[in-house]
Amino acid sequence: MVLNDAHSPRSALITAVFGACPRCGQGKLFSGFLSIAPSCDKCGLDFGFVDSGDGPAVFVTLIAGLAVLGAALWTELRFEPPIWVHLVIFLPLTLVVCLGLLRPLKGWLIAMQYRNKAEEGRLED
Give percent of the chain with pLDDT exceeding 70: 92
Q: Give residue 2's pLDDT band: very low, low, confident or very high (50, 70, 90).
A: very low
CB 34 within 8 A of CB 102: yes
pTM of structure = 0.86
State the Cα–Cα distance between residues 38 and 74, nearest whole angstrom.
44
Half-sphere exposure of 39 (CA within 13 A, CB side): 6
State the Cα–Cα distance between residues 78 and 57, nearest whole angstrom.
30
Q: What pLDDT shows up at residue 118?
A: 86
Buried b (16+ CB within 10 A) or exposed e, 67-95: ebeeeeeeeeeeeeeeeeeeeeebeeebe
The answer to whether residue 91 scores a pLDDT higher than 80 is yes
